[in-house]
Amino acid sequence: MAVFTYTTPTHPHGSEYEVSLLVMKSVWWLALLVSGVLSKPRCRCLHGQRCWPTEYDFAQLESTLSQPLIYPVPPESACYPESNPSGNCTEVRTNTFTGTWRSDQAGAMQAPNFETFIFPNGTIEACYLNTNLGIPCEQGSVPTIGVDARTVEDVQAAVKFAADHDLRVVVHNTGHDYLGRSTARGAFMIWTHHLKNITASPSFIPEGAPENETYNEAGVQWYEAYDAAHANGRVIVGGITPGASVGAAGGWMQGGGHSVISPQHGLGVDNVVQFEIVTASGENLKANSYLNSDLFWAVRGGGGGTYGVVTSVTYRTHDISPLTATSVFCNISSAVTKDVLTEYVKLWPGLSDAGWGAYLYLGMPGAVANFTILFAAPDVSLADANVTLAPFLDFVRNVQEDVVTQMIPFDGFNSFYQAFFGSLDPQEGINEELVTRLVSRETFDDHEHLVDVMMSMRPLLFFNVAGGKVSQIHPDSAGVNPAWRNANALMYSAAMWEEGVTVDEYRVIQEKLKNDLAVLESLAPGGGTYLNEASMYEPNPQHTFFGDHYERLKCIKDTYDPTGLFIVASGVGSEDWDSSLNCRRT
């Protein structure tokens, strides 16, 4: 600091030295005051803090809504009468592993570990289904209040209320989320699960878009969308889970959206023609290639809960075409596993080019067989599928005695889905975290290294949901990670555990996942993965989840959400906030 002293010999308050010192002290204290104000982090208002809206405030909000406010609780609380005296514990115990039931509970996540909260000192706050653990039921990470949005106007009122009161916002649909983005301790929830409507329109043309589209509101789940598309003689690209409880217009689409028929028809984002979204300003905007095209680009892969609340999506649908499915089941011995995987990865690039999809599972806990493959060959006859797969199937039968194979022709996707997934046991309600990587086409060239990595993963899931049409679409056509356009598969490993583990036991699980992640990274250093099925331990999530699209995604984010109302774990703009995502970094 430069201080200039003016000599005033006759100053009544003392010498020029004293005057100079007084000025310096005043400037110093002013600088400290300004610095303190400017450096104080801006934090969202959370439940329990003095800034939290009053009962009157919430009553005013409720008066504008189509439904009463909701007060989410962990669904397991029904088994604790002191916490939830009106709860039905029998219902919870009967349905806790059913994805469609869990999606109907505002306070439920499909993986209940995301309902818990771990304090910095290692204390866990949770509500466990196993009451014999003797641990009290508490709220954990489940928001305490929210809006049951049934109309666009409900969403707009909720967004405006959250913005006016500077609340931490979470957008919650079905709770399928491996990054915990749709729940947060002390937050205000916008629950879109009941925004349900489906309209099929063969003449839907949003400002020049192609014909034959299906319109879904945000709460529609894939089992509903599949039935509607089939009833109208169409097929739609959607999520593949037992029961199809994933939302059709939520995070699945906004993260990219893959399917076993993606190699035939592209990713979910490649089939979106238009959507509507309530942004941080409270506006309900339509976005397509001609209107708000920057937002249309960003939301298709930029991540759920990041750019606003999507209230509807219009998907391009396709003609129903025949499909031949081939399943392989066995309890494979460790002695031949490597040889079988080697033959599989050698086979795959050619099948990918032909638009085939497949799911491979190895070492899945509780599975009937420890090794399963399901091939889906679109527009391929039974005879041609047999010719293509015969060498591989013969190889497997020669090295493994108990192999069961089936090759079944279907008239279309819907009957295939019902046969293989409609009757499967539910797989939700389990504590689980994932690590994943997209497997590039070049990685298949070094099949020895690829197989070595696959051998080190248990459980191993190897989903051939890329290549084909996915690779034919220009990487910059949508905001989704461009690594998808050079991928042939998505590889997973996972950790699953019983509820009630201690923090120390959980840290061991985390280390296993981090080690698996490092092994996957060795496949293609600096590679990418699928945002919706990913690890919370990525060292550089901006690159791994979004690739070289990140800067453009961030610019669009700042344009439509300049205050950061919509912030989620590892999402676009999350690096501007602290680890809790409650306080903005200075």
pLDDT for residue 31 is more than 50 = no
Residue 492 in contact with residue 258, Cβ under 8 Å?
Answer: no
Identical fold for domains 198-319 and 323-546, yes or no, is no
CA distances from 496 to 427, 430, 433, 435 (A): 12, 7, 7, 12
Q: How crowded is the C-beta side of 456, counted as CA atoms within 13 Å?
A: 16
Per-residue pLDDT at 412: 93
Per-residue pLDDT at 214: 58
Euclidean distance between CA atoms 541 and 534, whole angstroms: 10
pLDDT tens per residue, range 389-435 = 999 999 999 999 999 999 999 999 999 998 888 766 557 899 999 99
pLDDT tens per residue, range 298-326 = 999 999 999 999 999 999 999 999 999 99
Euclidean distance between CA atoms 575 and 41, whole angstroms: 14
- Over the chain, what is the mean pLDDT? 89
Per-residue pLDDT at 197: 75
Query: CB 44: neighbour CB atoms within 10 A?
Result: 25
Q: How crowded is the C-beta side of 479, counted as CA atoms within 13 Å?
A: 30
Q: Pick the residue with more confidence: 395 or 248?
A: 395
Per-residue pLDDT at 206: 64
pLDDT tens per residue, range 418-477 = 888 876 655 789 999 999 999 999 999 999 999 999 999 999 999 999 999 999 999 999
pLDDT tens per residue, range 258-306 = 999 999 999 999 999 999 999 999 999 999 999 999 999 999 999 999 9
Where do we find the tokens 């729940």? 183
Tokens of 62: 């409720």
Beta strands in 99-144 (DSSP E): 117-118, 124-125
Tokens of 148: 């049951």
Q: Cβ-count burial of 580 within 10 angstroms (0-12 exposed, 13-18 middle, 19+ buried)? A: middle
Residue 26 CB contacts under 8 Å (≥ 6 apart), including other chains: none
Whole-angstrom distance between the N-terminal and C-terminal Cα of the chain? 23
User: Cα–Cα–Cα angle for 443, 446, 448, nearest 5°?
Assistant: 120
Per-residue pLDDT at 207: 58
Per-residue pLDDT at 25: 40
Alpha-carbon torsion, ordered 190, 193, 194, 196, to 10 deg: 120
pLDDT for residue 356 is more than 70 = yes
* Domain boundaries of the chain, sorted by first residue: 1-40, 55-191, 198-319, 323-546
Helices then strands, each counted (H, E), the chain = 18, 19
Residue 546 in contact with residue 538, Cβ under 8 Å?
Answer: no
Residue 468 in contact with residue 497, Cβ under 8 Å?
Answer: no
Closest C-alpha among 225, 68, 222, 66 to residue 152: 66
Average pLDDT over residues 108-126: 95
pLDDT tens per residue, range 107-116 = 999 999 999 9
Q: What SS3 state is found at 213?
A: strand
Per-residue pLDDT at 239: 85
Closest C-alpha among 184, 272, 274, 298 to residue 556: 298
Q: Supply the CATH classification number for the domain 198-319.
A: 3.30.465.10
What is the bridge-based pairing of β-strands 460-464 and 124-125? unpaired
Average pLDDT over residues 227-252: 81
Per-residue pLDDT at 213: 57
Confidence of residue 182 (pLDDT cuts 50, 70, 90): very high
Residue 63 CB contacts under 8 Å (≥ 6 apart), including other chains: none
Domain range 323-546, its CATH number among 3.40.309.10, 3.40.50.11810, 3.40.462.20, 3.30.70.580? 3.40.462.20
Residue 453 in contact with residue 519, Cβ under 8 Å?
Answer: yes
Q: Cβ-count burial of 432 within 10 angstroms (0-12 exposed, 13-18 middle, 19+ buried)? A: middle
Average pLDDT over residues 233-246: 81
Euclidean distance between CA atoms 296 and 480, whole angstroms: 11
Closest C-alpha among 89, 109, 91 to residue 99: 109
- pLDDT more than 90, % of the chain: 77
